[in-house]
């Protein structure tokens, strides 16, 4: 069987409402126990984020669902609304669906009635979910199963970060530890995450005018066989490293233990996320016969600027250093949009007017939940 070449021919994004500065964050998310967060300034100083987007109004009222934002990004791929009827496949990745059932993808499809009945898939996960959606769409076009596919990455985490969801835990901590602040391992995520969506249009022919991005490699790896969960939600970590499901708690315990809060083992993250990510990347260079000097743009999804120097050091250690001027990261202006971050980076670069034919772009997406990674090599054509 011969495989087709696959090209990203259009990208689009949807960022809800106006950008939110660091000073404005608590007017949207609220203050815990009516006091400013002690960890906020520390976290923001380390992560380098200057602004982000929330699908919220001030006070915490939701303005958009995840599915609505994603559908708006998909619509942005088509200047002529009638062209949306050409989609054969819709592949949507997120770690924050609006509901457990139905799937995120079909909810997005529900906001796109003009597409007609088409195939829809919804990879789950965390930051890699968007890349898994991308890979499914890429394989469908590559094998000829689909002629035109749309893939997306999106998040709506802000509603999980508002202060009223933490009040019961604060009361518990105040009683037990005389500490009115939630633990750093949970609180720091409130200052990291952002909302938004972006989408790619994939076809087996490049644009006649302007640039396209040929997908030369798209690979992933999981280290869950040897690593315990690092970031989790809807569960509680046990002493042996296993996760106890939300289904095994009473409603009272779910509130008391903040089972629906996002939690992260910061030490496990810091010790492993960069070194493990370097292993498969080194193999990708070898498999593609690629030298780091041939990379024109390096787009790593980083949750914090703290990791920039760590990744650079790992690349140097592996013998594949990438010059700082080749890095393209928009974290400071967009925030950490999880599964949508890599889409938003590619979208900004694709529409920047900077790209020249023949240039190579390397994407790196780490996922701390149980240490998964996705890598992609693109060529501008």
Lowest mean pLDDT among 142-146, 167-171, 236-240: 167-171
Residues 200 and 325 in one domain: no
Contact 106, 98 (CB under 8 A): no
* Domain shared by 354 and 283, yes or no: yes
Say whether both 98 and 183 belong to one domain: yes
Residue 246: inside a domain, yes or no? yes
Structure tokens at 271: 């010790």
Output the pLDDT for position 179.
39
> Do 201 and 5 form a contact (C-beta atoms < 8 A)?
no
Asked if residue 2 is part of any domain, the answer here is: no
For residue 356, the enclosing domain spans: 214-221+265-380
Residue 15 lies in a domain: yes
Note whether 258 and 277 are same-domain residues: no
* In a shared domain, residues 281 and 359: yes
- What distance in Å separates the CA atoms of residue 249 and residue 247, rounded to the nearest whole number? 6
Beta-strand relationship, 196-203 and 51-52: unpaired
Alpha carbons 368 and 81: distance in angstroms, whole number: 38
φ, ψ (nearest 5 deg) of residue 200: -120, 145
Q: What is the pTM of this model?
A: 0.94
Alpha-carbon distances, residue 358 vs 199, 214, 266, 296, 355 (angstroms) = 23, 10, 40, 9, 9
Pairing of strands 148-155, 213-222: unpaired
* Residue 15 near residue 53 (C-beta atoms within 8 A): yes
Structure tokens at 68: 């609505």
Q: Do both 257 and 291 map to the same domain?
A: no
What pLDDT, on the 0 to 100 scale, is given for residue 167?
60
pLDDT per residue as tens digits for the range 124-133: 999 999 999 9
Residue 1 lies in a domain: no
Question: What CATH number is attached to the domain comprising 292?
Answer: 3.40.47.10
Asked if the structure places residue 329 within a domain, the reply is yes
* pLDDT tens, residue by residue, 150-193: 999 999 999 989 987 766 555 554 443 443 334 445 667 789 99
Q: Which among 26, 28, 52 has a CA at the least distance from the CA of 38?
A: 26
pLDDT for the residue numbered 181: 33
- 200 by DSSP, 3-state: which? strand
State residue 185's pLDDT score. Answer: 53
Rounded to whole angstroms, the Cα distance separating 298 from 349 reads 11
For the chain, the domain total comes to 3
Give per-residue pLDDT as tens, 206-228. 999 999 999 999 999 999 999 99
pLDDT tens string 348-379: 999 999 999 999 999 999 999 999 999 999 99
Q: Do 52 and 135 reside in the same domain of the chain? A: yes
Segment holding 248, helix H or strand E: none
CA separation for the pair 93, 105 (Å, rounded): 8
372 Cβ neighbours under 8 A, 6+ residues apart: 125, 126, 128, 220, 221, 222, 223, 224, 366
Give the pLDDT confidence of 87-111 residue by residue, as tens digits. 999 999 999 999 999 999 999 999 9
């Amino acid at each position: 069987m011969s495989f087709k070449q696959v090209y990203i021919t259009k990208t689009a994004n949807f960022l809800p409402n106006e950008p939110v500065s660091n000073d404005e964050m608590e007017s949207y998310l609220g203050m815990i126990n009516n006091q400013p967060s002690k960890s906020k300034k520390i976290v923001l100083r380390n992560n380098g984020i200057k602004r982000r987007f929330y699908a919220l109004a001030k006070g915490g009222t939701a303005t958009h669902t995840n599915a609505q934002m994603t559908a708006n990004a998909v619509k942005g791929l088509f200047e002529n609304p009638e062209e949306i009827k050409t989609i054969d496949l819709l592949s949507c990745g997120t770690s924050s669906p609006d509901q457990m059932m139905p799937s995120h993808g079909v909810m997005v499809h529900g906001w796109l009635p003009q597409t007609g009945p088409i195939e829809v898939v919804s990879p789950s996960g965390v930051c890699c979910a968007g890349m898994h959606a991308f890979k499914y769409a890429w394989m469908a076009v590559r094998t000829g199963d689909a002629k035109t596919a749309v893939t997306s990455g999106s998040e709506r985490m802000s509603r999980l970060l508002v202060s009223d969801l933490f009040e019961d835990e604060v009361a518990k901590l105040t009683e037990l530890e005389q500490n009115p602040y939630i633990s750093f391992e949970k609180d720091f995520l409130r200052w990291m995450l952002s909302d938004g969506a972006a989408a790619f249009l994939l076809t087996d022919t490049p644009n006649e005018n302007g640039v396209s991005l040929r997908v030369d490699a798209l690979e992933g790896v999981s280290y869950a066989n040897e690593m315990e969960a690092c970031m989790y939600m809807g569960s509680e970590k046990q002493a042996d490293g296993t996760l106890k499901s939300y289904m095994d708690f009473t409603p009272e315990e779910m509130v008391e233990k903040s089972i629906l809060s996002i939690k992260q083992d910061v030490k496990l993250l810091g010790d492993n996320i960069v070194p493990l990510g370097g292993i498969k990347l080194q193999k990708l260079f070898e498999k593609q016969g690629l030298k780091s000097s041939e990379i024109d743009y390096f787009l790593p999804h980083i949750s914090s600027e703290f990791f920039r120097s760590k990744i650079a050091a790992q690349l140097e250690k592996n013998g594949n250093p990438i010059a700082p001027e080749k890095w393209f990261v928009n974290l400071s202006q967009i925030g950490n949009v999880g599964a949508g971050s890599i889409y938003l980076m590619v979208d900004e670069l694709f529409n920047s007017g900077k790209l020249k034919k023949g240039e190579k772009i390397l994407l790196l997406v780490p996922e701390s939940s149980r240490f998964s990674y996705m890598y992609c090599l693109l060529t501008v054509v």
